[in-house]
């Protein structure tokens, strides 16, 4: 359901673009991406481990030592309401955040400068559950600059950058996240973000729906007092629509996942830029000439396929949707059934948002050395549990995020990030795409927070087109792009307002 365009435009107009000239000469890409480290926490060794184990031995982590939950840590100002791997490394994280602020994050920074005096989020108490990266830190600190109080946890056990979490804690942010959390740690961290003394959150910013559902289940009274939920992922939005259907949604929710800018940039452009990097960092594989099977030809699958084709891979895709399948055909890509192709390819990448797409049976028939990884939100796309439970298989940790799973006949597959988001786990993402997603999230949060009672019902809403266009405008300066303005006559001819929106809601970009 769409919100009233004019009402939403009020918020967008309030933060009209200010000069971002200072960013124009700063188009260097980040060069400080973390290389995967070679540490197996389960064996408490910091060298490459080729030691075989007869079964799966635990999750990956790039840090060894005591569980952060058992440590007492303090910021230099004496702040203790956080739990990160090691606060001592905060200055490295601060530099990472500063780099992100200056390269490509111009949209958020413009929003921060513009709205700092208005403080539109004054009184907002936000529970955040997202990936913890330098770019997300820019969002978190922007929300604080706009007047919000926040408590934050990670939405993925591998993607937290410890230096960034440390920098946020040092800056006084209540953050509970570290790279290599166990499943139990994961829920403990989310619980800490939701539940604290003298804290009643009024908004959730979620990526995957875990914080939303944890709060609904464990703290239903607090949940019923929310003003809104902003959700970032396909999976989380799906869960929100289910809540809405069963009348369990107690506050309006904004589906930012399906905003045009988020869809195009966070999924397509981001995955197109990061998949090759992730595969190379994890495995050093030469991609040219390799046969790759991409499961799912939605936004993510299209980005992944385009990048791999561009470096010389032979790409095939699987699809359940005839429209996406025919798009693949038009793009020159063969559409196959997974069972027909999986035995002959060098790399399998799942991008569906579905579960059990790559099963143990499929992996049984893969050839020796096949690389298997997932670009979808959930770690159930590849049935890693079946691999973990199969007593005949041997797991060998090669390095952080890279496991050999070995069959009794010696055949091995190379499983990346234990089937979790490979680009988030094995590399970092481009600042610009994250700035776009983050700007969209910030505007959605502001809209839900400042909306007068009655503007939204307890339902799931899409971001209005005007806000999407505003997010795009904020980022055009990075490319020194100059928009053409409609003349009065042209605007009349097309039946448009000169300042937008320029397309109807049903327009497909
Ligand atoms: N890695 C990242 O950086 C990143 C970025 C954005 C989204 N995501 C995640 O990637 C997943 C896909 O996102 P999307 O935006 O491409 O969604 P989408 O809905 O556009 O595409 C998914 C496609 O998979 C197809 N599909 C579903 N089940 C299938 C099956 N069993 N076999 C073959 N195809 C199947 C669907 O028909 C659809 O076309 C989601 O989980 C999303 O949260 C990841």
Lowest-confidence pick of 66-75, 241-250, 433-442: 433-442
Ligand 1 centroid vs 381 CA: distance in angstroms?
Answer: 10
Q: What does the pLDDT read at residue 433?
A: 85
Q: What whole-number distance in Å separates Cα of residue 398 and Cα of residue 49?
A: 6
Q: What pLDDT was estimated at residue 116?
A: 80
**How many angstroms separate the CA atoms of 504 and 49, rounded?**
56
* Residue having the nearest C-alpha atom to atom 25 of ligand 1: 296
Residue-level pLDDT at 28:
29
Query: Does 423 count as an annotated binding residue?
Result: yes
Lowest mean pLDDT segment, chosen from 240-244, 354-358, 503-507: 503-507
Query: For residue 10, what pLDDT band results from cuts at 50, 70 and 90?
Result: low
Measured distance CA(276)–CA(270) in Å, rounded: 11
Neighbours of 462 (CB within 10 A): 20
Q: What is the C-alpha separation between 195 and 128, in angstroms, rounded? A: 12
- Running DSSP on this structure, what letter comes out for residue 45? B
DSSP run (H or E) holding 416: strand 412-416
CB 418 within 8 A of CB 282: no
pLDDT, residue 48, reads 28
pLDDT score at 432: 86
Q: pLDDT grade, residue 16 (50/70/90)?
A: very low
| % of the chain surpassing 70 pLDDT | 87
pLDDT over threshold 70, residue 42 = no
| Per-residue pLDDT reduced to its tens digit, 343-353 | 999 999 999 99
Half-sphere exposure at residue 429, Cβ-oriented, CA atoms within 13 angstroms: 30
Question: In Å, how far are 62, 81, 145, 318, 453 from 148, measured between CA atoms?
Answer: 32, 17, 7, 44, 19
Residue with CA nearest ligand 1 atom 37: 321
Separation of first and last alpha carbons in the chain = 19
Distances (CA, A) of 330 to 23, 152, 180: 38, 43, 41
pLDDT score for 15: 40
Pocket of ligand 1 (CB under 6 A): 233-235, 266-267, 270-271, 295-301, 318-321, 324, 351-354, 357, 375-378, 421, 423
Gap between the Cα atoms of 509 and 503, Å rounded: 9
| DSSP β-bridge partners for residue 462 | 2, 255
CB under 8 Å to 394, separation ≥6 — which residues? 52, 53, 54, 55, 405, 406
Q: Which residue has the higher pLDDT, 144 or 61?
A: 144
| More confidently predicted of 168 and 433 | 168
Q: What is the pLDDT of residue 155?
A: 97
Q: Which residue has the higher pLDDT, 115 or 47?
A: 115
Compute the mean pLDDT over every residue in the chain, rounded to the nearest whole number: 88
State pLDDT tens for residues 355-389. Answer: 999 999 999 999 999 999 999 988 999 999 999 99
Q: Report the residue among 316, 376, 380, 508 best suited for mutation to probe ligand 1: largest number of ligand atoms under 8 A from its CB.
A: 376
Best probe residue, ligand 1, of 239, 300, 373, 425 (max atoms within 8 Å of C-beta): 300
Residue 133 is assigned to a ligand binding site: yes
Q: How many CB atoms lie within 10 A of CB 42?
A: 16
CATH superfamily of 272-426: NAD(P)-binding Rossmann-like Domain (3.40.50.720)
What integer pLDDT is reported at residue 21 of this predicted model? Answer: 31
Q: Which of 155, 207, 234 to mutate to test the pocket of ligand 1 (most atoms within 8 A of CB)?
A: 234
What span, in angstroms and rounded, lies between the C-alpha atoms of 347 and 402?
14
- Span 446-472, average pLDDT: 93
Helices 162-170 and 134-145 meet at what angle, rounded to 10? 20
- Both tokens of residue 419? 């089937």
Handedness of CA 86, 90, 92, 96 (dihedral sign): positive
- What is residue 146's predicted lDDT score, i.e. its pLDDT? 95
d(CA 141, CA 85): 20
The per-residue pLDDT for 286 is 97
Percentage of the residues of the chain whose pLDDT score is greater than 90:
76
How far apart are the C-alpha atoms of 312 and 287, rounded to whole Å?
7
The Cα 46–Cα 59 span in angstroms is 15
Per-residue pLDDT averaged across 134-146, rounded?
Answer: 95
pLDDT for residue 76: 98
**pLDDT digits 0-9 by tens, 55-105:** 455 444 445 579 999 999 999 999 999 999 999 999 999 999 999 898 878
Q: Which value, to the nearest 10 degrees, does the dihedral of the CA atoms of residues 48, 54, 60, 63 take?
A: -50
Protein residue with its CA nearest to atom 1 in ligand 1? 375
Work out the pLDDT band at 482, boundaries 50, 70, 90.
very high
From 206-210, 349-353, 477-481, the region with the lowest mean pLDDT: 477-481
Q: CA Rg, the chain, in Å?
A: 23
Cα 235 to ligand 1 centre (Å): 9
pLDDT digits 0-9 by tens, 210-220: 999 999 999 99
**In whole angstroms, what is the distance from residue 150 CA to residue 95 CA?**
22
Q: Is the pLDDT of residue 31 over 50?
A: no
pLDDT given for residue 421 in this prediction: 95
Which pLDDT value is given to residue 8?
44
| Closest by CA position to 292, among listed 339, 347, 344, 335 | 347
CA distance 293 to 358: 11
255: β partners: 231, 462
- Using CA positions, which residue lies closest to atom 38 of ligand 1? 298
Q: What is the pTM of this model?
A: 0.75
Whether the link from the prior residue into 501 is cis, omega within 30° of 0, is: yes
CB 475 within 8 A of CB 432: yes
d(CA 293, CA 350): 8
Which pLDDT value is given to residue 52? 36
Distance from Cα 410 to the centre of ligand 1, integer Å = 33
- CB neighbours of residue 28 within 10 Å: 10
Extents of the domains making up the chain:
272-426
DSSP 139-206: HHHHHHHTT-EEEEEESSSS---HHHHHHHHHTT-EEE--TT--HHHHHHHHHHHH--TT----EEEE
Residues 6 or more apart whose Cβ sits within 8 Å of residue 286: none
The burial class, CB within 10 Å (0-12 / 13-18 / 19+), for 241 is middle
pLDDT at residue 464, as a whole number: 87
């Amino acid at each position: 359901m769409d919100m009233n365009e004019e009402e939403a435009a009020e918020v967008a107009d309030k933060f009209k673009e200010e000069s971002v000239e200072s960013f124009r000469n700063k188009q260097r890409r980040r060069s400080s991406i973390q290389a995967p480290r070679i540490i197996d926490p389960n064996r408490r060794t910091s060298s490459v481990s080729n030691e075989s184990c007869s079964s799966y031995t635990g999750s990956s982590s790039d840090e060894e030592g005591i569980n952060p939950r058992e440590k007492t840590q303090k910021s230099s100002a004496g702040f203790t309401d956080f739990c990160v791997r090691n606060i001592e490394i905060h200055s490295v994280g601060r530099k990472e955040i500063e780099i992100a602020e200056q390269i490509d994050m111009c949209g958020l920074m413009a929003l921060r400068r513009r709205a700092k005096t208005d403080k539109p989020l004054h009184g907002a108490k936000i529970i955040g559950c997202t990936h913890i990266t330098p770019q997300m830190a820019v969002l978190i600190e922007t929300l604080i600059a706009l007047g919000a109080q926040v408590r934050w946890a990670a939405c993925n056990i591998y993607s937290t950058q410890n230096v960034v979490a440390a920098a946020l804690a040092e800056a006084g942010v209540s953050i509970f996240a570290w790279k290599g959390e166990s499943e139990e740690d994961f829920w403990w961290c989310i619980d800490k973000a939701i539940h604290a003394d003298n804290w009643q959150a009024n908004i959730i910013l979620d990526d995957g729906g875990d914080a939303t559902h944890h709060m609904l289940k464990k703290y239903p009274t607090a949940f019923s007092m929310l003003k809104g939920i902003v959700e970032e992922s396909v999976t989380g939005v799906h869960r929100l629509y289910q809540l809405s259907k069963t009348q369990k949604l107690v506050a309006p929710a904004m589906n930012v996942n399906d905003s045009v800018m988020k869809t195009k940039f966070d999924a397509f452009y981001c995955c197109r830029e990061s998949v090759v990097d992730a595969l190379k960092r994890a495995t050093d594989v030469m991609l040219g000439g390799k046969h790759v099977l991409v499961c799912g030809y939605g936004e993510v699958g299209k980005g992944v396929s385009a990048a791999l084709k561009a470096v010389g891979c032979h790409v095939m895709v699987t699809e359940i949707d005839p429209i996406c399948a025919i798009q693949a055909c038009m793009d020159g890509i063969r559409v196959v059934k997974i069972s027909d192709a999986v035995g002959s390819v060098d790399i399998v990448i799942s991008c569906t948002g579905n579960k059990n797409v790559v099963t143990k049976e499929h992996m049984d028939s893969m050839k020796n050395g096949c690389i298997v990884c997932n670009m979808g939100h959930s770690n159930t796309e590849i049935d890693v549990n079946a691999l973990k439970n199969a007593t005949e298989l041997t797991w060998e940790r090669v390095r952080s995020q890279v496991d050999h799973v070995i069959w009794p006949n010696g055949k091995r597959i190379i499983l990346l990030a234990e089937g979790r988001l490979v680009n988030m786990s094995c590399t970092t993402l481009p600042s610009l795409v994250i700035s776009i997603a983050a700007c969209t999230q910030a505007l959605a949060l502001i809209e839900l927070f400042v909306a007068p009672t009655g503007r939204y019902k307890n339902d799931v809403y899409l971001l209005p087109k005007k806000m999407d266009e505003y997010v795009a405008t904020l980022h055009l300066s990075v490319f020194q792009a100059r928009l053409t303005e409609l003349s009065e006559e042209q605007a009349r001819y097309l039946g448009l307002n000169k300042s937008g929106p320029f397309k109807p809601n049903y327009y497909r970009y």
